[in-house]
Amino acid sequence: MKLYNLLYILLCIPTDVACSRNVDDMLLSYITMENQPTSLLAPELCWPLHHKTSFTRLLNGVGVNVAYTMRPSRKEQYLHHITILADFSCSSASDLVLQSDEHGFFMSPYRWIFINLHQQSPNATILDKLNILIDSNVVVVQKVDDTKYVFHEVYKIAKDYQVIKNLRAVWRAVNDTEKRNEQTTSSIHVNLTPGNNSVSVNSKTNGEIEDLFYSTPLSCRRRNLRGHSLTMVNVITDSNETKNHMHDRLFLHHDSISKMSYMVVRICFEMMNASENLLFTNTWGYRDKHGNWQGLIDHLLKKKADLGTLTIFTKERTEHIDYIAMVGSTAVRFVFREPPLAYVSNIFTLPFSGAVWFAILICVLGCALFLYITSKWEATMGSHPLQLDGSWADVLILIIGAVLQQGCTLEPRFTAGRCVTLLLFISLTILYAAYSANIVVLLRAPSPSVRSLQDLLSSPLKLGASDFEYNRYFFRQLNDPTRKSIYDKKIAPKGKKPNFYNMTEGVEKIRQGLFAFHMELNPGYRLIQETYQEDEKCDLVEIDYINEIDPWLPGQKRSPYKDLFKVK
């Protein structure tokens, strides 16, 4: 036994970490405490081979894979599994972390553990040079004594800020006597008293670790930006006066989507203790003929802004920006008053259903047959100048007169024929009254027939759109047959001026009828509320042209503040 201890001490001379048998237990306790799928990478680790082997075996026992080289080909969906271990006592640690910083390995979702057992280690000062921003998950382990280690989370609010340290966890070893005499057990104690949200994990073999931020997400632990300035770019399309009314409720129908976005983001900034900086542009951002982005997207790509006005999803944009959250509901759709039924249908066939028309025909033919039979019989009983002569011609003249609510000089002379004639005239009079009443109603009724883009294309409605760049962009981009026909035939027919109008003019054309206007709903309906009579609001209909989901707040791609914005 003494010989084994002597050999162990001799092998541990190259590094102080390997000399401490508690380091392995401490690292194992922290990794298991996080309770996340983990693959540990330990490149440039200067531990002896036998120590690496025992450490690997220890972590494999709890389902943690270990590798001692970087694997950049790792699939992106598994990046959140990776934890990188670096020991500041190793001479190559500084090169490792600097190269990792250049390749963005300190950004989310990577996790880091730095072992810094010596306060005077020259590599410890390298933290000030790293881009360990607010989304970085970097923990520095420091030794208090041989049986106690502390874990500090380190991060910066921005690149040029000082490093902030928060106590993350405390690990304490169990003595050798307990390891030999006690059965291997583990227990968890959770303390959730007000102001103290911590959990202690006790193990007879691996020691005790106290998690000071039990179940608290990383973004919730770093919500104080200490006055750091965040920039929002706002899209202004209606009036330059909007810049002066972002904070009040004046001119609400001007750039309403920008004002709504700003008011929500302003509250978010206040909750994060961040100061605001506003930029303005006149377009959401589309590629020009050279392939360069413009407007809002350009500001986010060049990192001039952190957030922007609510933006519609497009496939091209998702490759360059992140969509943070949906902070308000709006849409861009065709809005129109239902056209009168007489403009889109033949109202003279609509009062009765096909079955009723068929029943009326059967009734009239039945009466005609009975009149023919009775007139034949009356002709055999005698003749009279005003009597039906028993021919189909006389019966037809009588039937036509009854249908047209007119009389006839010829009529039956006996009871049987007169009963049939009376029944015919009463039935047709009732049907005529019902038909006339239905016609009057249908003349004033709106048509429910325009409910799809194909209906809109086939209808007599004229079409127009609000004069915004996003309308011109989407009308040109959507190339399925129906949408292309709508644009080519009704929005921008060849040889004619395209039907793009300002919001006031378009809403007025809707009120006049037989006009569908493609507009943003929030400012459009506010203008309708101010200018329409109550009865003019009842027959408004919407049809979606773009088929978009509600717009989301855009932010920089992989911004360090992304999770903070989502939580807030």
What DSSP string describes 353-417?
Answer: -HHHHHHHHHHHHHHHHHHHHHHHHHHHH---TTB--S-HHHHHHHHHHHHTT---S-B--SHHH
CATH superfamily of the 21-175+187-222 domain: Response regulator (3.40.50.2300)
**Does residue 176 or residue 463 have the better pLDDT?**
463
Provide the pLDDT confidence category of residue 404 given band limits of 50, 70 and 90. Answer: confident
Provide the pLDDT confidence category of residue 16 given band limits of 50, 70 and 90. Answer: very low
If you average pLDDT over residues 193-212, what whole number do you get?
Answer: 66
Distance (Å, whole) CA 136 – CA 156:
9
- Per-residue model confidence (pLDDT) at position 330: 80
- Per-residue model confidence (pLDDT) at position 383: 64
Residue 493 in contact with residue 500, Cβ under 8 Å? no
What does each C-alpha distance from 351 to 263, 432, 443, 450 come to in angstroms? 53, 11, 11, 20
pLDDT of residue 154 exceeding 50: yes
The CATH classification number of 335-339+447-549 equals 3.40.190.10
82-91, 407-416, 557-566 — which is least confidently predicted? 407-416
Provide the pLDDT confidence category of residue 130 given band limits of 50, 70 and 90. Answer: very high
pLDDT of residue 345 exceeding 90: no
Say if 21-175+187-222 and 229-330+552-565 have the same CATH topology: no
End-to-end CA distance of the chain: give it in Å, rounded.
59
Distance (Å, whole) CA 105 – CA 72:
10
If you average pLDDT over residues 358-381, what whole number do you get?
Answer: 77
**Does residue 425 or residue 2 have the better pLDDT?**
425
If you average pLDDT over residues 80-104, what whole number do you get?
Answer: 90
pLDDT of residue 299 exceeding 80: yes
- Per-residue model confidence (pLDDT) at position 263: 92
Q: pLDDT tens digits, residue range 26-85?
A: 999 999 888 889 999 999 888 888 889 899 999 999 999 898 887 655 566 678 889 999
Residue 286 in contact with residue 473, Cβ under 8 Å? yes
User: DSSP for 73-124?
Assistant: T--GGGGGGEEEEEETTSTTHHHHHHHHHHTTTTSTT-EEEEEE--TT-GGG
Provide the pLDDT confidence category of residue 386 given band limits of 50, 70 and 90. Answer: low
Provide the pLDDT confidence category of residue 483 given band limits of 50, 70 and 90. Answer: very high
Q: pLDDT tens digits, residue range 508-550?
A: 999 999 999 999 998 899 899 999 999 899 889 999 998 777 8
- Per-residue model confidence (pLDDT) at position 463: 96
Domain extent listing, the chain: 21-175+187-222, 229-330+552-565, 335-339+447-549, 343-444
Residue 465 in contact with residue 374, Cβ under 8 Å? no
pLDDT of residue 374 exceeding 80: no
Provide the pLDDT confidence category of residue 171 given band limits of 50, 70 and 90. Answer: very high
- Per-residue model confidence (pLDDT) at position 363: 82
Mean pLDDT of the chain: 83
The CATH classification number of 229-330+552-565 equals 3.40.190.10
Residue 509 one-letter amino acid: K
Share of the chain above pLDDT 90, in %: 38
Provide the pLDDT confidence category of residue 361 given band limits of 50, 70 and 90. Answer: confident
pLDDT of residue 13 exceeding 50: no
Provide the pLDDT confidence category of residue 254 given band limits of 50, 70 and 90. Answer: confident
Provide the pLDDT confidence category of residue 204 given band limits of 50, 70 and 90. Answer: low
Buried b (16+ CB within 10 A) or exposed e, 68-86: eebeeeeeeeeeebbbbbb
The CATH classification number of 343-444 equals 1.10.287
SS3 34: helix
